[in-house]
A and B are shown apart, each in its own frame.
Chain A
Amino acid sequence: MGDDLMNLGRSGYARLVLVSAMGMGMTTVGCSGGDVAGTLGQLGEGVFRYECVEDSDARCNQTSAVDTFEVSSDIGVDPELPTAVAVGARFDLTYVGDTVTDDGEFLIVDVEPARNDLVTHSGGFVIEAAGTFAFLARNGPKRIVTDFVHVDAFVATALDVWHLEQKVSSVTLDFGQETEMAVVAVSDGGIALAGALPVTWSSSDASILAVGATGETGMPVEGVEINDDEVRLVAVAEGLVTLTVTQGEVTRDIAVTVSPEVMP
């Protein structure tokens, strides 16, 4: 929480009066009192909180593959809004803050985009084009906006692949080694992009390098789709393979060399 105080330009705390944010099908109810982390709205009435809706969102990366200090400067930490999201990627926003009028009326607010021709909502928001998009905490029937925030969206044009907190284009693994890698979509300008885009990982030769879901143990089962920004690798046998990751419309190949087995 202390770290968030250092980022007042983008984050802040809202003194919770009473919260009810119904985010277009999702209801978030908080309790009175206490501070809430997130990104302060433009009117200072509350905070907007970013939420991942799928495992493939690098914003909620769980492994140590990624140097979160470097990535977090772009993607963000905790529920702060990221620097930007990827066009076509799924994410969600909730609002926590003051929703009481001067007359003492308590409002139910939805988080909704200012324009809904390029921002859709289906299990999360999806921004369909590059640009800057306002999200409003709004009570439509009463035409009241309690606060708002802007989110930037860029097209993902490249993928950074991370291993042991380093960006890599090739790796060498020891025979039998198990490790993790992660992928982060980036824009033309190199901004790490948040949001869930469909991800696939594949090895050109599963008999040399097997790929599986993080958190599992044992030999990964070949052919299982891993729609996650993180992947578990098992070096099965000596050789050279290509690890391919595709996220959205972008593909990246990583050369993986498995060293020979060391005989005792």
Chain B
Amino acid sequence: MRPATNPHRALQLALALALVASSAGCSSEYWVDFTYVSDAAPSVLVDSDRIEIPAGLAVGVTATPVEDGERTGLALDMVPVRPGIIGIDQALEERQWVIYGISAGATSIELWFAGELVGEMPAVVTEQHAPAD
């Protein structure tokens, strides 16, 4: 004889399974892996979550598109939503980019993998502190 099913417990289990299913990869995750290839001032931060750079400074990086945790060889373009705040230009070497702060402010960077917009990442350009001499 089968034990009686608790209806509340069944509902809880169903909801939990639905949540797991929705987060487990119905859609791909995209980000960019960055590695510095030039000197980077302590006030410069470039990682997969965000970019932070003072106005007037520049940094060189390699940028590799990542899809669902796997590095890909897809063509990458990174386009500032507000180009008056930050510049991101390709360098001569493959996968190399130069990021430079143009004017203090916040914006985001469109990530394009193989010509398809896959997401955005935040970027903040800070005001420089006068250097000590």
Contacts and interface: CB of A to CB of B under 8 A. Distances in A.
26 contacts: A42-B58, A43-B93, A43-B96, A45-B91, A102-B92, A102-B94, A114-B56, A114-B87, A114-B102, A115-B55, A115-B102, A116-B102, A130-B130, A131-B56, A131-B128, A136-B89, A136-B98, A145-B89, A145-B91, A146-B91, A148-B58, A150-B58, A152-B131, A154-B131, A154-B133, A187-B133
Interface residues of A, number: 38
A69 B115 CA distance: 55
Interface in A84-131: 84, 98-102, 113-119, 129-131
Nearest to A149: B58
Contacts of A134: 56-58, 100
B108 interface: no
Nearest to A100: B92
Interface of A: 42-43, 45, 84, 98-102, 113-119, 129-134, 136, 138, 143-148, 150, 152, 154, 187-191
B90 interface: yes
* Contact size range, B: 20 to 34
Contacts of A138: 89
A73 to B, nearest CB: 14
B23 to A, nearest CB: 36
Chain B CB count within 10 A is highest, among A102, A117, A119, A187, for A117
A74 to B, nearest CB: 10
B106 to A, nearest CB: 16
A136 B56 CA distance: 11
Interface string B29-51: 00000000111010000000000
B93 A114 contact: no
Kindly list the 6 A-B residue pairs having the minimum CB-CB distance in the complex, ordered from nearest.
A189-B133, A134-B58, A42-B38, A114-B100, A145-B98, A145-B89
Interface string B50-64: 000001111010000
